[in-house]
Structure 1
């Protein structure tokens, strides 16, 4: 009976992820408010304050008469703003989650997450021909961490446009785009849904708050939403723009409101482990890999190609550590699964020449 109660409590804990919201509450202490939600006790705010101390905080809060609510206001100035006094060919004013954030704000394999927020571009908004990013989902960990997975960006063109960009590895492509003008000087609500994994799903809609009309949408299935050696995926919001063509820019403010992160599906009891997830070392490798921290409930190790073809299966025999010979595998990325009655854990491994 006691075991059943413990398992029931564990099941409730695993699935009770809830929704985390960040709402403006009025002028003053804006950075503290953002920090208290996105990374309590740490620093999820990336602002150009250091190079422009005379202006003060580059994110503040104001009352918006269209929404009849307090909202966040992100400021960016062509000069002297830069990227945190680190990079001077670009400007960054963003908020984010990161490794110091609570676990339920970080996306991992097997989770389905809904991100929501509202934003408003000022009338006459000017954008760079290089990049002016408003939102990113960024993979953290591994060799590909510098390239965002998904990016919502605006770009100077004829006409100016909004683009949804995607990178499976280190090369970006445009998934969808639309004219920017209908998206300017109106409050927009974004709903972004993603399933993290090597065969994931992605969906985004942008609608006009005032009348509910959908101004932009895109959806796809069976897309790679995870990268080798990644630890988690985190969202970012704000203004991140290039200064290479500063003559095309002006001082801007972008308003944001009602940030929300909600994990709507996560590991069930059958796919959870009471132990820490296993690790693979070395990764990448060309000869052998060691699997450590194998849950005692795991009974076998199975390797799959990214298109789902099984290439190897080994029994674990209640081992906490197991060495696999992968020298016969072709170069590429494989999914390593630990399977058992009460465990199903997965990680990617890269096989080199």
Structure 2
């Protein structure tokens, strides 16, 4: 006989719908700056912060080319130890970045309460040399408020022993490192980044970076709850490119950082804490945790219209091709906690915690 079992206070983030997405892809048939501005800027405005003003003989410091590894067009962000600077305004650092800003379309700016997924690909050279002070390749910054000068999130490449990528964070002015990884994991490799942020005083943050050649996860981090809103901010916005200190020029060389497939996507209708009622089989997962396959015990999958999987940050993991009969292939997934959601039509009838080791 089927039993009604009540599951109380299960913490799970479930993305129910998508309200908007903005995508910027390279296209060598179009002018690079016009292409970037057509997506991230309103008409006749500019979101590019390049060192062209002091190095006009080089031309545009963001170019495009066809990449044989990705089999598509990509962006190239150029930076030269001499004479590039920061927009002819600061000369102790160099900046070549794209961003969204106050005049950008509303759907590329994050406001309090929104959850945004940022995705992109990037590649640094096999002999990339970072500064010991800072070399930023991505930031999330606030606009407005007393803390706007300090980015909430930074991906910083730093000369050290060994050189490393640092995930830096602050909700005020005191930035600290949440996690770091050996830079050799990134050198010479195309990687794909997925970053999900719930913006708010009680928000959440997660990031996963995969090597594209073999789908290996080389960096991940998640934190919830975490303060992801700087007091007084009007909105938050992303930046990508290369922004580095010139304090020790001898440590640096001319670089090209490649980027592809920028995506800004707002996700909505998130369940946070729910009391759920099971109206079906007493399904179990075995083995749990697993690094290969998970079997659904006591399950009749025909009783459900959809079976979905979400990671801890609430990002949906597509598993349609990974379910075979009553088994789910979890090989290749990052280590951590996942949630498997069973639905009849749009009604959630069962949630199971799945651990990947």
The TM-score with structure 1 as length reference comes to 0.70
Q: 1:221 to 1:16 in 2, by over 3 A?
A: closer
- Pair 1:142 & 2:108 matched: no
Q: Which residue among 27, 31, 34 is the counterpart of 2:33?
A: 31
TM superposition shift of 1:40: 2.7
Task: Note if contact 1:111-1:267 (Cα within 8 Å) is conserved in structure 2.
Answer: no
Task: Note if contact 2:170-2:176 (Cα within 8 Å) is conserved in structure 1.
Answer: yes
- Pair 1:188 & 2:191 matched: yes
Structure 2 residues not aligned, in runs of 5+? 1-16, 272-357
Map Cα deviations across residues 245-303 of structure 1 (whole Å, 9 max, x no partner).
Answer: 111000000100000000011799xxxxxxxxxxxxxxxxxxxxxxxxxxxxxxxxxxx
- Secondary structure of residue in 2 paired with 1:17: strand
Task: Note if contact 1:83-1:92 (Cα within 8 Å) is conserved in structure 2.
Answer: yes
Task: Note if contact 2:120-2:194 (Cα within 8 Å) is conserved in structure 1.
Answer: yes
TM superposition shift of 1:194: 0.3
Aligned to 1:19: 21
Aligned to 2:162: 159
CA distance in 2, matches of 1:73, 1:44: 16
Q: Which residue among 249, 254, 257 is the counterpart of 1:251?
A: 254
Aligned to 1:76: 79
Aligned to 2:62: 59
Task: Note if contact 2:204-2:223 (Cα within 8 Å) is conserved in structure 1.
Answer: yes
Map Cα deviations across residues 226-250 of structure 1 (whole Å, 9 max, x no partner).
Answer: 1211100000000000000111000
TM superposition shift of 1:16: 6.4
Structure 1 residues not aligned, in runs of 5+? 1-14, 269-353
Task: Note if contact 1:190-1:204 (Cα within 8 Å) is conserved in structure 2.
Answer: yes
CA distance in 1, matches of 2:175, 2:113: 24
- Secondary structure of residue in 2 paired with 1:264: strand
Q: Say which structure is richer in strand.
A: 2
Aligned Cα root-mean-square deviation (Å): 1.4
Q: Which runs of 4+ in 1 moved over 3 A?
A: none
The TM-score with structure 2 as length reference comes to 0.70
Aligned to 1:237: 240
**Higher RCO (CA < 8 A, seq sep 6+):** 2
